[in-house]
Amino acid sequence: MFNKTDPSGYQAALPGIRLKTLVHGEKTLMAEFLLDAGSVLPRHAHPHEQTGYLVRGRLRLTIGEQTQEVGPGDSWSIPGDTEHSAEVLADALAIEVFSPVREDYLPGKEP
């Protein structure tokens, strides 16, 4: 599967947080997140392993009981069923891969 860049197709996940699924296969799904400064991703957990890379911006990311401020070029991995949250400190763009595929992020589904 290929995906060509397209500025459309973002869905609101939470206030100030938009996502777009870029590509997916049988076992993984890659999504792009646009995050507005001041937005908060509340503490939550899901069964999916989540690996991310921050393209631009700044986040305060908490994984389990560990909190780090991350900037462009930083990356993270969140084991499945591990609580995590984020505060968006500066407008940001993050790329994340989920395994197994997040069914709720498939095109045509609501996040």
Distance in angstroms (rounded) separating the CA atoms of residues 82 and 73? 23
pLDDT of residue 8: 85
Closest Cα partner for 67 from 41, 90, 49, 85?
A: 85
Residue 69, domain extent: 13-101
Residue 109 lies in a domain: no
Q: What is the pLDDT of residues 7-65, one digit of tens each?
A: 888 999 999 999 999 999 999 999 999 999 999 999 999 999 999 999 999 999 999 99
Residue 45 lies in a domain: yes
Assigned token pair, 33:
């997140």
Cβ–Cβ under 8 Å, residues 35 and 16: yes
Quickly state the pLDDT bin for 66 (edges 50, 70, 90).
very high
Q: What is the pLDDT of residues 85-107, one digit of tens each?
A: 999 999 999 999 999 999 999 87
pLDDT of residue 98: 98
> Residue 83: which CATH number?
2.60.120.10
Q: What is the pLDDT of residues 47-63, one digit of tens each?
A: 999 999 999 999 999 99
Residue 34 lies in a domain: yes
Closest Cα partner for 47 from 92, 103, 109, 111?
A: 103
Cβ partners under 8 Å of residue 28, min gap 6: 97, 98, 99, 100, 101
pLDDT of residue 26: 95
* Number of structural domains found in the chain: 1
Distance in angstroms (rounded) separating the CA atoms of residues 87 and 25? 30
Residue 72 lies in a domain: yes
Residue 4 lies in a domain: no
